[in-house]
Structure 1
Amino acid sequence: MKRLLFSFFVIASFIFQSSTAKPVTSAFLKDPETLNAGIYLVIGVFEQETNAQRMTKSASQQGLPAFYKLHSKNKLYYVYTYRALSKSKLISAYYEIRSKTPFKDAWLLTVDDKLENTRLEALGEQQEEKHTIRPTAQKNPKEEAFSLASKSLVFAFENYDDVRQELIPAQLTITDKSSSKLISKLQSDEYLSLEGGQRTTDTLLITTRALGYQESSFLLDLQSDMSSMQSLIKEIRNDTVFVQFPLKQLEVGDFQTMYNTYFYANSTVMRLQSKHELDIVYNLLSRFPNMSIKVHGHTNGNSRGVAYLYNEEKRNYFDLIRTNEYKKRGFSSTKLSEYRAETIKSYLVHKGISEERIKTYGWGGKQMLFDEDSPMAKNNIRVEIEILNK
């Protein structure tokens, strides 16, 4: 056991000495309570500060640089090892931590509060790129001859509004075009690594989804040279390929499912993980002040039963209260779906969106996608947004 522990510490020491990202130093931690703008290499997230403290201490005892701070928006505590102002500086540390330490689920968190005006002296940054989209630059002959075929590569993806030229967070599904085999599901601030010697596909089919934008797909041909994909490839830096592509806004009359908004069973109260997607809807409505939407609620079937209701005065959006005060019997599925839509509206209104811009409707089980006894029946329980005006 001692020999194993010693080997682990040797490996950990090598990782962080060789990484291109430097650990955050105490000189940077002037305000240890709040996350500043930047990209964080996160190894854990907690609702309770004491749990974040325990994990920080445990990681430090294993030889990792570990810190924790509170996110001012979602009120969760994030335990992290590194911070930088550009993703490229964290790529090496990201893969080393996931492959050579116990923290296999480490991920990159973007805190994007006036990122372009923030300077991180503790990491020795003098000037960082602004967080905007630039047109693809002219390629020189050496770049045009660059082939993606047999190399081990890291892909970084950026999605942007095709009209406003702003970066948009999106979910990406990456499959092998020839076999339709799923390769990875990730966020636009995460990375895809493909090993040259173990690669089994020549063409990647990349499908993107972002709230407020049409779903889109494009092909990345790994057998082509860079000159044939100038519209997609923004830059190649060492072994990292930076891919960018536009997203088109939803049109009036378009519907979109909120796949990451969840409610407690038999309740109009949401689960905490729904907050991220709700805030995306809020940001969307904030960016487009003329946009109005309708929130549609759906259930699995049309039975009646007991339901625990969200309370407007307490604003317990994510806090299920199982007391008789909030318990309603004989509650219909139509009312349940309507009240769920109203909970979402209440959240957005209390964040500052005008009430007149949000309509709601509860369908109950009138528009089920699958039979209510089907293995896929859980997909009937969903919330959709409809664009009424732009």
Structure 2
Amino acid sequence: MKTPNFFALVGLFFTLCLLQPTTAAPYESQQLDNAAPNYVVIGAFAKQSNALRFTNHAKRDVKLDARFEMNKRRNLYYVYVLSTHDLPIAIEEAKRLRVESEFTDTWVYVGSFADLTSAGHDIVIVPNRPEISSSQPQASNGIATANATDSYVAPADATPQDASGSSVNSAAPASTEINTSETAATTPPIEEASTAFVDDGTEGTKFFFKITRQADQKKLQGDVDIIDVDRTRKMGSYKGNTVVKVASPASKSGNMSIICDVFGYRKSQRDLSYSDPESGGDIIRDSNGAVVVPFELTRLKKGDIAIMYNVYFFKDASVMRPESRFEVNSLLDMLNENPKYKIRLHGHTNGNAAGKIISMGKESDAFFALSDTKEGFGSAKQLSEERASIIRDYLVKNGIPASRMEIKAWGGKKPIHDKMSPRAAENVRVEVEILED
């Protein structure tokens, strides 16, 4: 009698499977707000200090333009690497990071972090996972075969949870020293960030790094790096023009160097004492007790050279990755502001080995996606030339005369680090030299 019952159960199981969809609902069918920002998220944390450490790891070790912000709907700090109004670009970048980086649980959040009156959705890439439930989104690491419609939109009130029902975050390597009391998640759960300060109870002093343009006092988007002078080590990176909490360097003198380096502007540095910051001249405390440290930045001048730290290229390609868009547009703004500017774009690679070169198609205008490309073979110098040229071509397409720009290709002749160094990725870069201002 047991055998017939067994086969009956197996038959019922396969019948139920056939009735289930083979993929999650396409994100295009979810009627998401096209005007809402889309964030490519690599982690979520209950503690601000853990979000900061994770952000610093992503910036320092993985070379991503990572930031974090409190998602008030989830009551978690979301660490994200791209903000765009183009949802397909966000989806593609999330899929790329899941395959090509350690952040294999990357997802997309659609909506404002601060505005609770509008809808908010977590989009999790879930290829061929019909068992995903709307109450607890999860993700598979097998994203390599997924297509753009393999996604799942979590409801607005969904919160990422572990098996015990506790709120969680994406895990980072042990070297980031993240508090292990926060459990690692499989998955969940620039637009201008909110300036509201959310105190999570961590130790430290409130700071407001006021970053403005000297010419007109316009606020600038950027970060500052804080260096512990006594130990000559970086304490962390902090977002400008918003209140943040900075922990004490716990050194004998308490002296700190604060460095503000916004692309298109001259680097600025201020030194102060953590215990007595107001002794630094124009440094004051505002009505909420935050230490206000002003940075008035000036544009680059003739002879200056700036590295485009936040412009990245696809592997073996002269095509920019989506997160490069902000910095390239910053260069565009600089050239539009001053029609007298003439620049030289210097292209560099890591090493001088020849190899495959993936380039944009002849009629393509996909500067930030591998959607229309051609494949060839060439030298490292040729690759570095094409990478500098793609930035020039983008600027030309957006109204900058080609006569204002020159190209210089170096290949791997001028590395910043040894080509086998853990930081060798920094050798792959484009530099902007100001020829006339």
Identity, % of aligned positions: 27
Deviations 1:311-351 (A, max 9, x none): 352112122258xx71112x111111111111111112222
1:203–1:365 Cα change, 3 Å: same
CA deviation string 1:99-135 (max 9, x = no partner): x9657999x94179xxxxxxxxxx9xxxxxxxxxxxx
What is the CA distance between 1:191 and its match in structure 2?
Answer: 4.1
| 1:319 equivalent in structure 2 | 369
The answer (yes or no) to whether the contact 2:307–2:429 under 8 Å persists in 1 is yes
2:330 counterpart residue number: 280
2:351 corresponds to 1:301? yes
Structure 1 portions without partners, runs of 5+: 1-30, 36-41, 48-57, 65-69, 85-96, 113-122, 124-150
Q: Distance in 1 between matches of 2:290 and 2:272?
A: 14
Paired position in structure 2 for 1:271: 321
Whichever residue aligns with residue 45 of structure 1, its letter is: Y
Report the Cα offset of residue 309 of structure 1: 0.8
Q: Deviations over 1:235-287 (max 9, x none)?
A: 41223223212223222111111111111121111111111111111111122
1:344-363 mapped onto 2 (5 Å cutoff): 344-363=391-410
Asked if 1 retains the 8 angstrom alpha-carbon contact of 2:39 and 2:84, the reply is: no
Q: Is the 8 A contact 2:219 2:241 kept in 1?
A: no
- Is the counterpart of residue 110 in structure 1 residue 157 in structure 2? no
Report the counterpart of residue 80 of structure 1 in structure 2: 112
Gaps spanning 5+ residues in structure 2: where? 1-31, 42-70, 77-82, 91-108, 117-158, 160-165, 172-187, 197-202
1:339 aligns to what SS in structure 2?
Answer: helix
In 2, Cα distance between equivalents of 1:188 and 1:63 = 22
The structure-2 alpha-carbon separation of the partners of 1:300 and 1:181, relative to structure 1 and needing over 3 Å to count, comes to: closer
TM-superposition CA deviations, 1:133-176 (whole Å, max 9, x none): xxxxxxxxxxxxxxxxxx95211212222334332223311122
Contact 1:160–1:247, Cα closer than 8 Å, also in 2: yes
The residue identity in structure 1 corresponding to 2:192 is T
Given the alignment of the two structures, is residue 168 of structure 1 paired with residue 220 of structure 2, yes or no? Answer: yes
Q: Is the 1:312–1:346 contact (alpha carbons within 8 Å) kept by the matching residues of 2?
A: no
Cα deviation for residue 288 of structure 1 reads 1.8
Aligned length: 280
* 1:215 maps to 2:270: no
Task: Give the TM-score normalised by structure 1.
Answer: 0.62
Change (3 A) 1:321 1:241: same
1:336 is aligned, of 355, 363, 383, to 383
Question: In structure 2, do the counterparts of structure 1 residues 311 and 275 end up closer, same or farther at CA, with 3 Å as the change threshold?
Answer: same
CA distance in 1, matches of 2:320, 2:241: 26
For residues 309 and 194 of structure 1, do their structure 2 counterparts lie closer, same or farther at Cα, with a shift above 3 Å needed?
closer
Aligned residues of 2:225 and 2:238 also touching (Cα < 8 A): yes
2:242 counterpart of 1:248? no
SS in 2 for 1:295: strand
* In 2: Cα distance, 1:269 partner to 1:195 partner: 40
What is the RMSD of the two structures over their aligned residues, measured on CA atoms?
A: 3.8
Q: 1:71: how far off? A: 4.8
Question: Are 2:39 and 1:45 aligned?
Answer: yes
Does the CA contact (< 8 Å) of 1:232 and 1:245 recur in 2? no
Q: Please name the residue that 2:235 is paired with.
A: 183
Aligned to 2:47: none
Change in Cα spacing, 1:300 to 1:241, as seen in structure 2 (3 Å) is same
CA shift in 2, pair 1:262/1:63, >3 Å: closer
Normalised TM-score (structure 2):
0.55
Partners of 1:177 and 1:161 in 2: how far apart?
27
Mean Cα displacement is larger for which, 291-300 or 354-363? 354-363
Deviations along 1:167-208, one digit per CA (max 9) or x if unpaired, are 222331112222223221133245431357x95572221011
